[in-house]
Amino acid sequence: MSESTEVDESEEVAAPDPQPEPPTRFGVPLSDSLGVSTIHPSPEEWLGVAEAARAEGFDHLTDLTAVDYLTYGAPRGLPDGINAERFEVVAHLSNVSSRERLRLRAQVPADEPTLPTLFDVWPGAEALEREVYDMFGIVFADHPDMCRILMPDDWVGHPLRKDYAVGQIPVQFKDEGMKR
């Protein structure tokens, strides 16, 4: 004996809840890292996002640095849709009046390690960008003085890149003063 079940075609089947839109700020993906809002602009969005942050009151560039992920194997905590690249430039911003902090993390490809300069937005970026250029080889387009700041002008390579050959510099001692 089998029972037949009739289906009332007038009843609508509830559609599954759509996935919520991922959070964004200034039109780019937003994440949270230890209580600090972190946005992930592409190199093309970098300058526009910085200008929007400045207009919103982020009046202080606290720090700007880079990371070379060449040998890093673990997940990097990037939002969906953000492709991990070898280099990442990280800028820390502060809104002094509201005491809010904001982090910008831009993925920079190894084959074209270039971002627009933030010098026109925060003039204090000038030396920080030169340091990133000197140590990692990431160029900041339209920077007013894109040259080495820590290493001698004739230095070959960028010492904080993971593929930079580690060498030794001999230590020189004076014989004078060592005698008793």
Query: What residues contact 63, with CB distance under 8 A and at least 6 apart?
Result: 90, 91, 92, 128
CATH tag for 24-71+81-141 (out of 3.30.200.210, 3.30.420.40, 3.30.460.80, 3.40.220.10) = 3.30.460.80
Q: Which amino acid is at 20?
A: P
HSE of 163 in the Cβ direction (CA atoms, 13 Å)?
A: 6
pLDDT tens digit sequence for 77-134: 899 999 999 999 999 999 999 999 999 999 999 999 999 999 999 999 999 999 999 9
Domain ranges of the chain: 24-71+81-141
Sole residue written with tokens 């993906």: 29
pLDDT for residue 12? 62
Judge whether residue 2 has pLDDT over 60.
no
pTM of the model: 0.82
CA 116 to CA 96: how far, in whole Å? 24
pLDDT tens digit sequence for 123-178: 999 999 999 999 999 999 999 999 999 999 999 999 999 999 877 666 666 665 55
